[in-house]
């Protein structure tokens, strides 16, 4: 009756799931809400100590019987965050998050120092975008030089939790590839990019060792005692939230596309070789299972729908009836939902735009549908980059908070013209982290299973929640999507140069 824990440190909350591998079910789920520090300059930050408080609270909710059966823990964490630590392991500054867009200047400086975007992609497979960790490190040097001078270690959010659990400093390839300075071909740090970030300091001295995805670490004695766990409990390498969601949605073999409808919108796939977009429209990441994870992220997914819902004082229970009372295309209203700025397309200074309003179509229902359609079109914009890279898919597995909407699931099937599936277990990154820890535990026991074996054994599609594309709606959406692109072309020059008035 072994239990495997998955901890997901997200933007809005920390989640813990306890997964019983013998019963193939989650026996406990715990949540702890997180605050977000936001400023007008695009800063989005959290304090690392908030995460530890949240994790302790979640462990307090686990009863003694569950704790006594825990064999392994896996950690999923929001990608790209920057945790600077001194030589004593103390965090030196608030953690700048994936959605922080205050480092546009630093991105440009690194890009220019390396010789341009094409050179960055040639060296490491990725451009340096505002959300990536590389620009945050340079930002700290410029804006908080005292903290930068004390910095001895650079960690990502999930690395910091691993450090807390084990007392060891390490990174794994998947999350590390989201820093911007990992060469995804060689899985080694790029000296050229590190020099472009700071040509006065050897940043390699601040980087922890890289470990493969199946390497186990022992939990520290102090943490085991604090949480009432066995000293033999192991901690798997874990990974970024997208890498863990890939495991938690069964995306460990080619042909499946995972779409996560959360604060951000992401689509990602499994590849047996590096998948790189010469234009840099999607990220060329490593996976946390030994392969590669081409991924595209939009910064405004449920942000778009929640903004309208809160503005109109709508209850979640009203959403499906609202969609039922509207038509595809929202009667001509087009929403470009760039409330947080945007990464795809690359408009970090972008703003939300609602266009096509008239006296007949301006209704609550149409405004909400248009927000949902805009978030979906933004993901299709990125999906076309996948197609340019010769990636092909037979289905889309949706996850995240937005996936609870039946209307949104059908919209995705129609817009992408692919069947949409959901899983019986809807815990995404937290479940993926638990399953990775199960894989690492069994590897240590000499079972020799592949991660795909684990996924096949423990994940099940919910057949009643499979949605097929409607040919007529798909044809309509092809037309409306072109209208979306026309509006995008029109507003892009306004925001591309940093003008956000």
Contact 74, 7 (CB under 8 A): yes
Q: Where would I find the H helices in 406-450?
A: 406-416, 428-444
d(CA 348, CA 101): 6
Instruction: Give Cα 210 distance to the centre of its chain.
Output: 20
Helices 117-124 & 104-114, crossing angle to 10 degrees? 80
Q: Cβ–Cβ contacts within 10 Å for residue 65, how many?
A: 10
Q: Which two tokens stand for residue 289?
A: 């299972």
- Encode 174-205: b = buried (16+ Cβ within 10 Å), e = exposed: bbbbbbbbbbbeeeebbebbbbbbbeeeebee
Instruction: Give Cα 296 distance to the centre of its chain.
Output: 9
Contact 201, 154 (CB under 8 A): no
The bridge status of strand 265-269 relative to strand 256-261 is: antiparallel
- Encode 261-280: b = buried (16+ Cβ within 10 Å), e = exposed: bbbbbbbbbbbeebbbbeeb
Question: What's the DSSP call for residue 19?
Answer: E
Catalytic residue check, 40: no
Helices 104-114 & 133-143, crossing angle to 10 degrees? 110
- Cα–Cα distances (Å) from 94 to 138, 147, 255, 299, 385, in that order, read 15, 11, 39, 21, 34
- Candidates 241, 277, 281, 331; catalytic one: 241
Contacts of 362 (CB under 8 A, 6+ apart): 333
Q: Which two tokens stand for residue 391?
A: 């990636």
- With tokens 């390839």, the residue in question is 173
Contact 407, 323 (CB under 8 A): yes
How many Cα atoms are found within 13 Å in the side-chain-facing hemisphere of 190? 28
Nearest residue to 184 via CA among 193, 381, 155: 193
Contact 221, 229 (CB under 8 A): no
Strand partners, 9: 14, 77
d(CA 245, CA 79): 12
d(CA 456, CA 420): 18
Catalytic residues: 241
């Amino acid at each position: 009756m072994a239990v495997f824990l998955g901890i997901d440190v997200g933007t809005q909350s920390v989640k813990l799931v306890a997964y019983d591998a013998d019963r193939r079910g989650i026996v406990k789920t715990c949540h702890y809400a997180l605050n977000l520090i936001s400023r007008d300059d695009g800063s989005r930050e959290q304090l690392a100590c908030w995460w530890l408080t949240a994790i302790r609270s979640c462990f307090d909710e686990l009863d003694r019987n569950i704790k006594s059966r825990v064999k392994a823990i896996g950690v999923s964490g929001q990608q790209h965050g920057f945790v600077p630590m001194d030589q004593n392991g103390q965090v030196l500054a608030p953690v700048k998050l994936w959605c922080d867009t205050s480092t546009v200047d630093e991105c440009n400086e690194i890009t220019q120092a390396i010789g341009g975007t094409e050179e960055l992609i040639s060296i490491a497979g990725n451009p340096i975008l505002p959300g990536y960790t590389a620009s945050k490190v340079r930002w700290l040097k410029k804006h908080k030089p005292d903290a930068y001078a004390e910095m001895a270690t650079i960690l990502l959010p999930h690395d910091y939790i691993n450090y807390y659990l084990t007392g060891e400093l390490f990174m794994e390839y998947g999350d590390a590839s989201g820093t911007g300075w990992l060469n995804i071909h060689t899985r080694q740090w790029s000296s050229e990019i590190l020099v472009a970030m700071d040509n006065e300091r050897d940043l390699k001295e601040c980087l922890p060792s890289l470990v493969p995805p199946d390497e186990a670490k022992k939990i520290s004695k102090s943490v085991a005692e604090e949480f009432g766990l066995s000293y033999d409990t192991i901690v798997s390498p874990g990974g970024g939230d997208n890498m863990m969601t890939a495991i938690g949605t069964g995306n460990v073999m080619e042909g499946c596309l995972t779409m996560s409808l959360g604060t951000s919108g992401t689509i990602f796939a499994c590849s047996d070789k590096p998948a790189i977009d010469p234009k840099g429209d999607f990220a060329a990441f490593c996976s946390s299972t030994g392969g590669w994870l081409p991924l595209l992220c939009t910064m405004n997914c449920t942000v778009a729908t929640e903004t309208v819902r809160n503005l109109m004082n709508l209850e979640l229970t009203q959403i499906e009836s609202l969609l039922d009372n509207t038509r595809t295309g929202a009667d001509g209203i087009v929403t470009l939902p760039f409330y947080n700025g945007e990464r795809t397309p690359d408009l970090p200074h972008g703003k939300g735009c609602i266009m096509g309003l008239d006296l007949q179509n301006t209704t609550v229902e149409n405004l909400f549908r248009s927000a949902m359609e805009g978030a979906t079109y933004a993901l299709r914009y990125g999906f076309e980059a996948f197609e340019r890279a010769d990636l092909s898919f037979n289905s889309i597995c949706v996850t995240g908070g937005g996936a609870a909407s039946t209307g949104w699931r059908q919209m995705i099937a129609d817009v992408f013209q692919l069947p949409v599936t959901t899983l019986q277990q809807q815990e995404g990154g937290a479940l993926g982290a638990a399953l990775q820890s199960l894989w690492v535990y069994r590897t240590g026991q000499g079972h020799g299973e592949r991660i795909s074996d684990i996924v096949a054994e423990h994940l099940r599609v919910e057949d009643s929640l499979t949605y097929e594309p409607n040919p007529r709606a798909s044809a309509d959406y092809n037309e409306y999507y072109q209208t979306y692109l026309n509006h995008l072309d029109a507003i892009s020059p306004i925001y591309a140069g940093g003008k956000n008035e």
